[in-house]
Chains A and B, each alone.
Chain A
């Protein structure tokens, strides 16, 4: 078990910096691709930077109370924490972050830290759309996360460890050592959860971004929103890193990291552009019918 050295702090900050920029650019690029598929021109790839700067610079700002204030802090702390509790690059001495603090279980549960805090903050605004969004999001996640939990159990049994680095290590030595090939059922199950929780169609009724602004961010603006946008760049990447580590052999360099994360992210984008939206109960039934059985098979077969 490794332990803490002060040098890890600048290392972690560097990881954070890289991931933040990567996330800002990548999400914009994906959005642009989606726009082009729809025959629109789309946003410039630096759009996220503009939004961020604009929001930070906004002068009119209001607050609804303490939790309203803390919500974005929880949210971003959740994203940053998730990133830093998981080793980003396999074999690198400095991109191991603070993974010594815990294992896969820590990452799995810390995912909810930001969600919970965000929901609380939005709740204090008193805006009913915020609460409706939270209600939908939580309801959906109960079933959407389940295949992942089952898949994680399956691979933890398979590799006999909960340590992420060890799981990545076990997948080294070629494409066919990836969990994708050694345990396809677990991977498929996990991908159900991945698609289900990336807030893209058909599972994006939580935010309903196209018509009415709904969901936790409804009342947020200025630096609050800036923090949340920062998180929107970091969090999906951090989450994708976990999937990459668990099922797709991890990344041994930043280049590999960039490609794999982008490819994985595109899976949900692809599915998103060609599917209409599910209502929440439809998503729940969908996962119960398709995702969960695969997950159950995964834990029975391993």
Chain B
């Protein structure tokens, strides 16, 4: 390989060379700049490849002498990676900045080259004074480049930046002088050889390190840098965030390595404060670039903390830090470059990008990358980090990191929601080159994801068939929706067929519901015409997550699948017309739940990777209850148990017609599957004498009751169904928590039944919505004759759901009774019993107010729901009836399987009938008796009243009046008024208030903290000094 000093030489040489060019040859100058950067990047990539293959790091000695008598540079793997990132960022930045650069002329290009050169130098140099020189170069060129922007504030921002960075470099210089005094060398590698005996060295090192930390713009001493983000040209902000940040991180790393592990704690603490603080303040930002600035500050803080954790990260340090740096740099640069095309600065002005689907994909990718979602490097890095932190008992640090990430996700995904759902007056200003720059960054994001997956010892998401299939659907986007739908169904059916034979019956049930069930619901999607851009990739991503979830053998695979599923379903839910806030709350709760899972898995693994799911049973006694509690909370977030349920009603109700059944009928089962896996492996656990399984039973019972009562009071049909899901999942949770054979069989029954009737009802209500354009039930009424098939499916659905014989819901109730007779858990039963009849209330309301009662004038002309919505419904109707007659076909195998788990066999199957220790259930006999009685009586009535005259709508009389307005005659609004008078206190939004309080507290903190950023350069300078003094005083206690 060529000497890496050439990277610096080319940069510097070209910068000087540009001065020789004719002033007017701006295009040529630009070409030269690009060429130089390209060459620098090519060299860096070359080094990266060589070093990645195991070559030893190379030392470069300048001036023909060894250090400390001359400056030396080092090119190792970390350096090569960082320089690759810096030079490539520079190259793309010049493309993005081309107009501004050409306008300003060759000088500005020279400054860019000097900046990139200086950053590369910072990365490579091993000499502190040389470091100082490069830092000065960086500061001056940054100040200069800030002026590239047309924004008038850029001058002030650049000036403030220069003032404060001089302050910082003074600190650094003083530190360097003292260090030299103490060690007699300016070489970084000589610092550790000097004992700390000399008392001044502590202060000297402190000054050097704090200067480096300040260059990372830590919260709250960073007002000076944030103005640069806001005012500078975004093409440059990308360099400022991605390249400068990376270079300073490398510097921080090598200096703190030299200074010794005593300083790690300071880095960690400052990093975490910066990460959380900056993210909180970012919550209140409404300017996209400033928001990105805060996010950058946050991410750099996170990385500072990771640098501080290198003592425990050991060999994984580069993998973790690298994954996080790359995720941050690539995503942040990409976002800044995208902001060039968005012409207005409000967050909702990003709505403009909707006209270009590839840009939407890029936006989503960058946000997912920043939040550490799969399949990007940050995800793998975060997983490793969590494992290590949990193993080394640094849980508070892990908690802080996860909380910070969650806050970051809040504002990032809120921004995404605004971009997807709101409107803007400012059109996109797309230029081919800008698009290209973004798309190259996008490709890099996926490339890095694949690379990090490949390097991971836990497995690569890109190497899984479902994930590739989901990505394949991205490529299919230009195809017509019907074709894509057919392919999607085929893919799901294929996956089902390929795995049905190998799964145990328990997993088979989930496979049946999630994958084959998904294919059935997708039939409804044939109803959509056009291309339906943005539907299939997230849908298939969600199904990929579900498929991988069932495949997962290790905790990593499980968690990765979980995140993939969450991400896909979030995009899917967001598609609904009014779903912006609901999709956000879904995402936040899901991510929060996922982070709790991550902590639980990390705690369980104790450093073992990959950690098999089955090994959860071997978790040592002292941590087992904690692991159990964390995982259970994580899973219950998905089943929307009471307390963490507030995301569900909105998310399910506002989703599109065919999405609601997917996220309700299918997605909720993922939480149950998690609980099944958890309980199978860990069984009962108790914490401080409290049996955690009993706690689950209570939560299940409360959810069952509260969900049902709240469903009664809904006016919106889809919200009613959504609340009822909370209730139904509560039943299933309760069944699992009974921890006996029949309880689990009950849960299985609920998994199947809930999928069928909830999907069916959501499709039916969706069909009604398509015709009436309202979800408010009191605006409907009397639709039975106009939508007879939909009516039938709702009728069958509610009979099945209410548990009335002869349909399949009764089977669930029968198993329930047998299950509870074997438990000692009496009190929560009261709640479960209470919620049963409450179910009748909302179910009756659903069918009555929509299909019965008075038909509204404006609805006289409506037609039956579209055929493709009816097809899956009729399949479900047939299934419900079939399942009611021969439940054994499905249940018997699960029953046998549960027998092997619990070591008992409480049900005895006699052909089609079942007998338990307490009673018996003969579904065929029940069906026959009821049908015979019903048909006989029907025959009698027909014989008598076949000639009854069909009367008109208002042929009724009440209270001596003859009604004529359907609106005043249809009894529908506030249908259960008496019930509300008695039980209305349940409607008190206690949980909503609690979470609202949390969010307001954060937001208030953000508003308060924001006041620190006055915009005044002097204030900023004082802040920096105060920051340094405070940190020194604190650090004094720890180190010096």
A101 at the interface (CB under 8 A from B): yes
- Cross-interface CB contact of B784 among A124, A153, A281, A295, cutoff 8 Å: A124
The answer to whether B805 and A109 have CB atoms under 8 Å apart is yes
Shortest B958–chain A CB gap in Å is: 5
B949 at the interface (CB under 8 A from A): yes
Shortest A76–chain B CB gap in Å is: 5
The answer to whether A138 and B830 have CB atoms under 8 Å apart is no
Segment 798-832 of B: residues with Cβ below 8 Å from A: 798-799, 802-805, 810, 813-814, 817-818, 820-821, 826-827, 829-830
Nearest opposing residue in chain A for B925, CB measure? A101
A280 at the interface (CB under 8 A from B): yes
Q: Which residues of chain A are within 8 angstroms of B813 by Cβ–Cβ distance?
A: 105, 109
Of B799, B918, B951, B975, most buried by chain A (CB within 10 Å of CB) is B918
Query: A227 vs B802: C-alpha distance in the bound complex, in angstroms?
Result: 25
The answer to whether B915 and A76 have CB atoms under 8 Å apart is no
Q: Which residues of chain B are within 8 angstroms of A276 by Cβ–Cβ distance?
A: none
Q: Which residues of chain A are within 8 angstroms of B982 by Cβ–Cβ distance?
A: 139, 143, 280-281, 284-285, 288
Of A66, A113, A219, A300, most buried by chain B (CB within 10 Å of CB) is A113
The answer to whether B841 and A138 have CB atoms under 8 Å apart is yes
A25 at the interface (CB under 8 A from B): no
- Cross-interface CB contact of A146 among B834, B915, B951, cutoff 8 Å: B834
Q: Which residues of chain B are within 8 angstroms of A288 by Cβ–Cβ distance?
A: 982
Query: A160 vs B930: C-alpha distance in the bound complex, in angstroms?
Result: 28
A141-158 Cβ-contact flags toward B at 8 Å (1 or 0): 111011001100100110
Nearest opposing residue in chain B for A142, CB measure? B837
A114-129 Cβ-contact flags toward B at 8 Å (1 or 0): 0110011001111111
Q: Which residues of chain A are within 8 angstroms of B827 by Cβ–Cβ distance?
A: 296, 300
Segment 896-930 of B: residues with Cβ below 8 Å from A: 910, 913, 915-922, 925-926, 929-930
Q: How many residues of A contact B (CB 8 A)?
A: 85
The answer to whether A281 and B978 have CB atoms under 8 Å apart is yes
A135 at the interface (CB under 8 A from B): yes
Nearest opposing residue in chain A for B815, CB measure? A105
The answer to whether B941 and A160 have CB atoms under 8 Å apart is no
- Cross-interface CB contact of A123 among B818, B852, B949, cutoff 8 Å: B852
Q: Which residues of chain B are within 8 angstroms of A183 by Cβ–Cβ distance?
A: none
B955 at the interface (CB under 8 A from A): yes
A163 at the interface (CB under 8 A from B): yes
Query: A196 vs B129: C-alpha distance in the bound complex, in angstroms?
Result: 91
The answer to whether A126 and B969 have CB atoms under 8 Å apart is yes
B948 at the interface (CB under 8 A from A): yes
The answer to whether B978 and A280 have CB atoms under 8 Å apart is yes
B465 at the interface (CB under 8 A from A): no
Q: How many residues of B contact A (CB 8 A)?
A: 80
Segment 941-967 of B: residues with Cβ below 8 Å from A: 941, 944-945, 947-951, 953-956, 958-959, 963
The answer to whether B784 and A66 have CB atoms under 8 Å apart is yes
The answer to whether B852 and A299 have CB atoms under 8 Å apart is no
Shortest B420–chain A CB gap in Å is: 40
B322 at the interface (CB under 8 A from A): no
Q: Which residues of chain B are within 8 angstroms of A4 by Cβ–Cβ distance?
A: 925
Q: Which residues of chain B are within 8 angstroms of A238 by Cβ–Cβ distance?
A: none
Shortest A216–chain B CB gap in Å is: 11
Query: A87 vs B827: C-alpha distance in the bound complex, in angstroms?
Result: 31
Q: Please choose the segment from B246-254, B736-744, B932-940, B1030-1038 that sits at the chain A interface, where 4 or more of its residues have CB less than 8 A away.
A: B932-940
The answer to whether A105 and B853 have CB atoms under 8 Å apart is no
The answer to whether A113 and B804 have CB atoms under 8 Å apart is yes
Q: Which residues of chain A are within 8 angstroms of B937 by Cβ–Cβ distance?
A: 73, 76-77, 80, 227
Nearest opposing residue in chain B for A292, CB measure? B830
The answer to whether B920 and A131 have CB atoms under 8 Å apart is no
Of A116, A136, A224, A299, most buried by chain B (CB within 10 Å of CB) is A116
- Cross-interface CB contact of A62 among B948, B953, B958, cutoff 8 Å: B948
The answer to whether B971 and A131 have CB atoms under 8 Å apart is yes
The answer to whether B941 and A85 have CB atoms under 8 Å apart is no
Nearest opposing residue in chain B for A141, CB measure? B837
A-B contact count (CB 8 A): 250
The answer to whether A219 and B956 have CB atoms under 8 Å apart is yes
Query: A163 vs B921: C-alpha distance in the bound complex, in angstroms?
Result: 10
The answer to whether B821 and A157 have CB atoms under 8 Å apart is yes
B483 at the interface (CB under 8 A from A): no
A61 at the interface (CB under 8 A from B): yes
The answer to whether A136 and B978 have CB atoms under 8 Å apart is yes
A106 at the interface (CB under 8 A from B): yes
Q: Which residues of chain B are within 8 angstroms of A161 by Cβ–Cβ distance?
A: 918-919
Q: Which residues of chain A are within 8 angstroms of B503 by Cβ–Cβ distance?
A: none
The answer to whether B938 and A113 have CB atoms under 8 Å apart is no
Of A101, A112, A222, most buried by chain B (CB within 10 Å of CB) is A101
Query: A58 vs B423: C-alpha distance in the bound complex, in angstroms?
Result: 65
Shortest A99–chain B CB gap in Å is: 10
B245 at the interface (CB under 8 A from A): no
- Cross-interface CB contact of A128 among B836, B953, B971, cutoff 8 Å: B971
Nearest opposing residue in chain B for A302, CB measure? B826
A102 at the interface (CB under 8 A from B): yes
Segment 255-302 of A: residues with Cβ below 8 Å from B: 279-281, 284-285, 288, 292, 295-296, 299-300
A56 at the interface (CB under 8 A from B): yes
A211-246 Cβ-contact flags toward B at 8 Å (1 or 0): 010000011001110110000000000000000000
Query: A279 vs B837: C-alpha distance in the bound complex, in angstroms?
Result: 19
Nearest opposing residue in chain B for A63, CB measure? B948
Q: Which residues of chain A are within 8 angstroms of B971 by Cβ–Cβ distance?
A: 128, 131-132, 135
The answer to whether B919 and A102 have CB atoms under 8 Å apart is yes
The answer to whether B852 and A124 have CB atoms under 8 Å apart is yes
Query: A66 vs B946: C-alpha distance in the bound complex, in angstroms?
Result: 11
Shortest B698–chain A CB gap in Å is: 15
A70 at the interface (CB under 8 A from B): yes
A100 at the interface (CB under 8 A from B): yes
The answer to whether A135 and B847 have CB atoms under 8 Å apart is no
A69-B941, A81-B929, A150-B830 are contacts. A105–B814 as well, Cβ < 8 Å?
yes
Q: Which residues of chain A are within 8 angstroms of B837 by Cβ–Cβ distance?
A: 138, 141-142, 145-146
The answer to whether B976 and A67 have CB atoms under 8 Å apart is no
Query: A280 vs B947: C-alpha distance in the bound complex, in angstroms?
Result: 39
Q: Which residues of chain A are within 8 angstroms of B802 by Cβ–Cβ distance?
A: 112, 116
Nearest opposing residue in chain A for B799, CB measure? A116
Shortest A299–chain B CB gap in Å is: 5
A104 at the interface (CB under 8 A from B): yes
The answer to whether A103 and B983 have CB atoms under 8 Å apart is no
Segment 504-553 of B: residues with Cβ below 8 Å from A: none
Shortest A142–chain B CB gap in Å is: 4
Shortest B939–chain A CB gap in Å is: 9
The answer to whether B782 and A102 have CB atoms under 8 Å apart is no
A1 at the interface (CB under 8 A from B): yes
Query: A284 vs B940: C-alpha distance in the bound complex, in angstroms?
Result: 38
Q: Which residues of chain A are within 8 angstroms of B925 by Cβ–Cβ distance?
A: 4, 98, 100-102
A162 at the interface (CB under 8 A from B): yes
Shortest A53–chain B CB gap in Å is: 12
The answer to whether A100 and B834 have CB atoms under 8 Å apart is no
A72 at the interface (CB under 8 A from B): yes
Segment 818-862 of B: residues with Cβ below 8 Å from A: 818, 820-821, 826-827, 829-830, 833-834, 836-838, 840-841, 844, 847-848, 852-854
B979 at the interface (CB under 8 A from A): yes
Could you list 10 further interchain pairs (A-B, Cβ under 8 angstroms) beyond the known A61-B947, A113-B804, A131-B852? A64-B950, A77-B933, A81-B929, A131-B848, A138-B840, A143-B834, A146-B830, A161-B919, A224-B941, A284-B982
Question: Can you offer 13 A-B residue contacts whose CB atoms are under 8 A?
Answer: A64-B951, A70-B938, A102-B920, A102-B922, A106-B814, A120-B847, A123-B853, A126-B782, A135-B979, A146-B830, A149-B833, A163-B920, A280-B978
A interface residues, Cβ below 8 angstroms from B: 1, 4, 56, 61-67, 69-70, 72-74, 76-77, 80-81, 84-85, 98, 100-106, 109-110, 112-113, 115-116, 119-120, 123-129, 131-132, 134-136, 138-143, 145-146, 149-150, 153, 156-157, 160-163, 212, 218-219, 222-224, 226-227, 279-281, 284-285, 288, 292, 295-296, 299-300
